[in-house]
Amino acid sequence: MLVVGRDDQQIVFLDTGRGSVLQVATLLYGTLTSPPRLWGPFALLGEDGASFGASALHAFDLSATTISDLWNPGIQVQGSVDATPLVLGDTLWAASDIGYLFPVAMSNIRKRQPGQPFDALGLSPGATSKITSLLATSDGNHLLLVTQTGVYGVDLTGPKPVRSWTALADLDLTGVPAVLDGDLLLVAADTMVYALPAYPTSSSPEPAWTYPADLPIKAMLAMGGRGSVTMSKISPAGAFTSAERLILRGPASTTVTVMTEGYPLHSRHGTAARDDRAMIARLLAAAGTADPVDATVVLLAVPGDRILTSDPDDLSG
């Protein structure tokens, strides 16, 4: 399936095999300005709401006979959502240009469960700063926001989010998609690439290195040869719904092994504990980002636990 955002506020869902239109939906405030987040059979997205100062978050069920927004008419948020939303554990995070993060509980996606917004950028009243990238560090404990006024780090380890650092505040970094490569966040402005530490030790970190190009930079791709998280074996077999969601079915002691190329990073046998699932979530945060997560992880999960994977072709069992 192909999801196409048009400049008339419509979203068109196409059958990629035939090129036929399956469904058309109309957004409330603006256009789709970033790719949706695929989470199981659901397309999660926001809207460009710059003209109205408001936007909405949507969850379209792509598996339904009639594709529709489970959160119709959408979860209302302030500002314009220009970055692809992010799911960590059971929480969806979306960022808007008023500098706020908007969490939505995903424990039951069919129920609208918005959380308390968090002021991530600390902008002055009435000010805006476009946010084009919302990324998670490989441990799943920090969010990175790439904006029109620099980069911001948010710590999620406490009971409430905390803005922990800011860098390159005088630069507009929205022109080139950011790249998270292991412990480095790569951003660009005009003719310069900046490599920022994803886990800085100060509240105003300096770049680890910079690269001056001869001409304006248009795009970047990091290929460090560092593998990505995949699910390589499931026993007994689970019901796989998409490349990003798996619902386990079987006895209460279903064993799941997560593997990638390379050597074991962590292996645990015995009764499942919450920290096991948290560690899986941290590994999953690195899926598709070329982070160094060569690992073998064994989890004893109960039916209904969600395990994400970056490549369904590696599923067997």
> Does one domain contain both 147 and 265?
no
> Does one domain contain both 138 and 234?
no
> Does one domain contain both 17 and 136?
yes
Q: What is the mean pLDDT of each run of 10 residues along the chain (317 residues)?
A: 94 94 95 93 93 93 94 96 94 97 95 96 96 93 97 96 97 94 90 94 95 88 45 31 29 34 28 40 45 35 40 37
Pairwise CA distance, residues 72 & 26, whole Å:
11
Evaluate whether residue 220 is within a structural domain: no
One DSSP character per residue, 48-64 reads --TTTTEEEEEEEETTS
> Does one domain contain both 185 and 307?
no
What is the reported pLDDT for 138? 85
Evaluate whether residue 285 is within a structural domain: yes
Pairwise CA distance, residues 164 & 117, whole Å:
17
> Does one domain contain both 116 and 244?
no
Report how far apart, in Å, the C-alpha atoms of 231 and of each of 98, 183, 291, 308, 309 are: 38, 23, 16, 8, 5
* Domain's final residue, options 166, 185, 212: 212
Reading the block at residue 295, the tokens are 């690992």
> Does one domain contain both 267 and 183?
no
> Does one domain contain both 155 and 248?
no
Evaluate whether residue 303 is within a structural domain: yes
Evaluate whether residue 224 is within a structural domain: no
Evaluate whether residue 219 is within a structural domain: no
> Does one domain contain both 153 and 236?
no
Q: What are phi and psi of 283, to 5 degrees?
A: -65, -40
What is the reported pLDDT for 139? 87
Q: Name the residue type at position 99.
A: G
| Number of separate domains in the chain | 2
List Cβ<8 Å contacts ≥24 apart for 208-212.
208/184
What is the reported pLDDT for 223? 56
Q: Domain span at residue 271?
A: 230-314
* Domain's final residue, options 149, 183, 212: 212
Reading the block at residue 68, the tokens are 């529709």
Reading the block at residue 207, the tokens are 């770049």
